[in-house]
């Protein structure tokens, strides 16, 4: 896993973007603080994919992702370090080779989902999410990324520790885990600003 983690980081894109925060009723008058973190997630199980083999367009209704470790080096209006990231997303993308995932690149498409940042309880269990962010991505392929996505994220104040918004980029590549099995790993970079919710 460390080797895979290192390979993904080597292929990762660096994105430094800042965005002004938003105010809500519970956070009015507070200035947004910089939010930034970068981490690696993997597709936990290959999802069901509906594919048009002629056009290459594929639809995934639900895909689950999980972090390879706890966040570190993060900044924000609350301490994000030590939190664990998971995500659920759906997508509609056109692939160059939808029948053989390791050799495929995305031509174009969109994906959207929700990411959760949760504190660990022990090595295998996590508490209720303290940050929940909705995101939307436009995807394509670039050098070093079979699937490259960039878009926006937002976390609303209600029942959340952060009210904020910003940019998200995702660089995804296939990695073999054994001679016969593999999955997609993604380097995610999240930037923006927000405030701690009272």
| Percent of the chain scoring above 70 in pLDDT | 84
Q: Which domain holds residue 21?
A: 2-190
75 located within any domain = yes
60 located within any domain = yes
195 located within any domain = no
Phi-psi region at 33: left, alpha or beta (left = phi > 0; alpha = psi -120 to 50): beta
> What is the average pLDDT value for the chain, to the nearest integer?
85
User: Residue 1 above 80 pLDDT?
Assistant: no
- Torsion angle of C-alpha atoms 49, 169, 144, 172, degrees rounded to 10: -30
197 located within any domain = no
Count of structural domains, the chain:
1
More confident residue, 10 or 185: 185
Per-residue pLDDT tens over the stretch 13-30: 222 222 223 333 344 445
- pLDDT score for 123: 82
As a whole number of angstroms, the distance between CA 41 and CA 44 comes to 9
- Which range among 2-6, 119-123, 166-170 shows the weakest confidence by mean pLDDT? 2-6
7 located within any domain = yes
Distances (CA, A) of 182 to 94, 111, 162, 185: 21, 21, 35, 10
Per-residue pLDDT tens over the stretch 94-133: 998 877 878 889 999 999 999 999 999 998 899 999 999 9
147 located within any domain = yes
- pLDDT score for 31: 66
Asked if residues 93 and 106 have their Cβ atoms less than 8 Å apart, the reply is yes
Per-residue pLDDT tens over the stretch 127-160: 999 999 999 999 999 999 999 999 999 998 777 8
- pLDDT score for 133: 94
178 located within any domain = yes
31 located within any domain = yes
Per-residue pLDDT tens over the stretch 169-192: 999 999 999 999 999 999 999 999
Per-residue pLDDT tens over the stretch 45-85: 988 888 887 888 999 999 999 999 999 999 999 999 999 99
For residue 170, how many other CB atoms are within 10 A of its CB?
26
User: Residue 163 above 60 pLDDT?
Assistant: yes
């Amino acid at each position: 896993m460390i080797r895979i983690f290192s390979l993904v980081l080597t292929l990762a894109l660096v994105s430094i973007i800042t965005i002004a925060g938003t105010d809500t009723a519970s956070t009015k008058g507070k200035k947004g603080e910089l939010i930034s973190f970068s981490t690696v997630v993997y597709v936990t199980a290959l999802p069901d994919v509906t594919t048009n083999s002629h056009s290459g367009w594929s639809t995934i209704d639900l895909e689950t992702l999980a972090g390879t470790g706890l966040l570190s080096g993060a900044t924000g209006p609350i301490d994000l370090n030590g939190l664990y990231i998971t995500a659920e997303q759906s997508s509609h993308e056109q692939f160059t080779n939808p029948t053989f995932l390791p050799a495929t690149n995305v031509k174009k498409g969109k994906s959207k989902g929700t990411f959760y940042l949760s504190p660990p309880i022990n090595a295998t269990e996590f508490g209720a999410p303290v940050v929940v962010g909705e995101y939307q991505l436009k995807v394509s392929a670039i050098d070093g990324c079979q699937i490259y996505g960039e878009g926006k994220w937002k976390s609303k104040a209600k029942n959340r520790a952060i009210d904020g918004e910003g940019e998200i980029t995702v660089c995804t590549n296939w990695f073999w885990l054994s001679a016969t099995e593999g999955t997609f790993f993604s380097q995610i970079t999240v930037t923006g600003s927000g405030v701690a919710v009272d």
